[in-house]
Amino acid sequence: MSQVKSVLCVGCTVIDFVTICGSYPKEDTDRRCLDGFWQRGGNASNVSTVLRVLGSRVDFFGMLSRSDAFRVLLEDLRRREIGTKNCPQTDRDPPFSSVILAQDAGTRTIIHCNKDYPQTTWDDFSKVDLSPYAWVHFEARNTPHVLKMMQSIRDHSERTGQRILISLDLETRYEQNQELCAPCDYVVFSKELAAQLGWQTPRQTCEQLAANIPGSGPKPAFICPWGSAGAGALDANGNYHELASYKQEKVVDTLGAGDSFMAGFIHATLEGQRSLSNAVDFANRVASHKITGFGYDHIAQLSLS
Ligand code: FRU
């Protein structure tokens, strides 16, 4: 069943300069790479790309740049029919990431340069008409502003009787961003962050996250992708599911695999009306297929049926 309403992805868009090497380079050496390319990146921006590739309707909300370097990113958003009509603009140069893909180990190493690029504010978001959206997805950053954005979505849902689902991608700084979890329907939490907090399994991570939600009201579902071990998911009623990953023989490009997981989950839940565990299973499929090719376009080979 296809939904008419769209997804809004809130976060940043950056330029990814990707260098493909046979192995990770040794410090202070001078060598050739195998190949390279650059593409639009950033968490919410990648989630938007993969949602479009899978066939969802999507708008992006983040700070766009008027600089020359950004023009190609704008063109890519336009070509893919990812809406940007609500985005504020700045004259500042966009953030970028230098990414090294090491083909022998299958790793991606990201060095991100943000340059204090301005973030969208609550004031920017308050101008957005929420009625076209069935789902709003956030990156965990800019906490006080994002919290107000989430609360305004909750208020809108209550006022109109049309519930807009909210998801959060929590990859860094748990303590700072913890309060963003409570207003969400779905929180996707990274394995790397769980390790930093000393949480050793996806189950322990989901259960700790749920225990840290104050009050006795409804809790979000927590989803924890765990690399090659698959993913764990704890639903709002406390039922835990674990879904195995799909193994791939050839790992080509792991950049944005987490963002692809997120998009697969949103697409399966919203477009496919899948249950939590089925949606996580599809998200595992999308993430594991993503790493078999460069970029995101090959994900179009997957479908929900
Ligand atoms: C991948 C990614 C890259 C970007 C980096 C930092 O998840 O979104 O595209 O360079 O993370 O935002």
Q: Which residues contact 108 (CB under 8 A, 6 or more apart)?
A: 99, 100, 101, 102, 253, 254, 255
Q: Measuring CA to CA, which residue among 236, 296, 235 is closest to residue 262? A: 296
Ligand 1 contact via 256 beta carbon (within 6 Å): yes
Q: Residue 191: which of 223, 234, 157 has the closest Cα?
A: 223
Amino acid residing at 45: S
pLDDT at 1: 42
pLDDT in tens, 243-274: 999 999 989 999 999 999 999 999 999 999 99
- What's the pLDDT at 4? 62
- What does residue 79 show for φ and ψ, rounded to 5 degrees? -60, -35
What is the DSSP-derived secondary structure letter of residue 83?
B
Give the span between the Cα atoms of 286 and 298, in whole angstroms. Answer: 10
* CA pair distance 238, 250, nearest whole angstrom: 36
CA distance 245 to 267: 18
pLDDT of amino acid 3:
45
Long-range own/partner contacts, residues 117-120 (CB < 8 A, 24 or more apart): 117/12, 117/63, 117/65, 117/90, 117/92, 117/93, 118/63, 118/90, 118/92, 119/12, 119/63, 119/145, 120/10, 120/61, 120/62, 120/63, 120/87, 120/88, 120/145
Q: Does ligand 1 lie within 6 Å of residue 258's CB atom?
A: yes
pLDDT of residue 67: 95
Q: What spacing in Å lies between the alpha carbon of 216 and ligand 1's midpoint?
A: 35
DSSP class of residue 172? Answer: S
Q: What is the pLDDT of residue 281?
A: 98
Q: Which atom of ligand 1 is nearest to the CA of 16?
A: 10
Smallest CA separation from ligand 1 atom 7, residue: 256
**Number of residues written out for the chain:** 305
Question: For residue 240, how far is the Cα from the chain centroid?
Answer: 22
Q: Which residues pair with 233 in a beta bridge?
A: 223, 241
Could you identify the atom of ligand 1 that is nearest to the CA of residue 43?
8
**Centroid of ligand 1 to alpha carbon of 239 (angstroms):** 31
Question: How many A from CA of 2 to the centre of ligand 1?
Answer: 29
CA-nearest residue, atom 6 of ligand 1: 42
Cα(113) to ligand 1 centroid in Å equals 11
Angle (CA) 130-132-4 rounded to 5° is 155
Regarding the beta carbon of 259 and ligand 1, being less than 6 Å apart is answered yes
Best CATH choice for the domain 6-12+43-68+119-301 from the list 3.40.1190.20, 3.40.50.300, 3.40.50.2300, 2.60.40.10? 3.40.1190.20
* Pocket mutation for ligand 1, best pick of 13, 16, 19 (most atoms within 8 Å of C-beta): 16
Q: Are strands 133-139 and 186-189 parallel, antiparallel or unpaired?
A: unpaired
Interhelix angle 43-54/257-270, rounded to 10 degrees, is: 50
Q: Which residue is associated with the tokens 């071990």?
A: 229
287: how many CB neighbours lie within 10 A of its CB?
29
Beta bridge mates, 100: 19, 109
Given this model, what pLDDT does residue 287 score? 96
Q: Is the CB of 48 under 6 A from ligand 1?
A: no
Evaluate: CB of 304 within 6 angstroms of ligand 1.
no
DSSP string, 59-76: EEES-EE-SGGGHHHHHH
Q: Are residues 97 and 111 in contact, defined by beta-carbon separation less than 8 angstroms?
A: yes
Q: Which residue has the tokens 């300069």?
A: 17
Domain parsing of the chain, residue ranges: 6-12+43-68+119-301
**Ligand 1: residue whose CA is nearest its atom 4:** 42
Beta bridge partners of 36: 19
The pLDDT tens digits along the chain (305 residues) read 444 689 999 999 999 999 999 999 999 999 999 999 999 999 999 999 999 999 999 999 999 999 998 999 999 999 999 999 999 999 999 999 999 999 999 999 999 999 889 999 999 999 999 999 999 999 999 999 999 999 999 999 999 999 999 999 999 999 999 999 999 999 999 999 999 999 999 999 999 999 999 988 889 999 999 988 999 999 999 999 999 999 999 899 999 999 999 999 999 999 999 999 999 999 999 999 999 999 999 999 999 97
CA-closest residue to ligand 1 atom 5: 42
Question: How far, in Å, from the CA of 272 to the mean position of ligand 1?
Answer: 27
Query: DSSP strand E in 161-284: where?
Result: 165-170, 186-189, 221-225, 231-234, 240-243
Q: Rounded to an integer, what distance in angstroms lies between the CA atom of residue 6 and that of residue 270?
A: 9
Q: Which two tokens stand for residue 176?
A: 């700072």
- Whether pTM > 0.75 for this model: the answer is yes
Residue among 103, 100, 186, 205 nearest 137 (CA) = 186
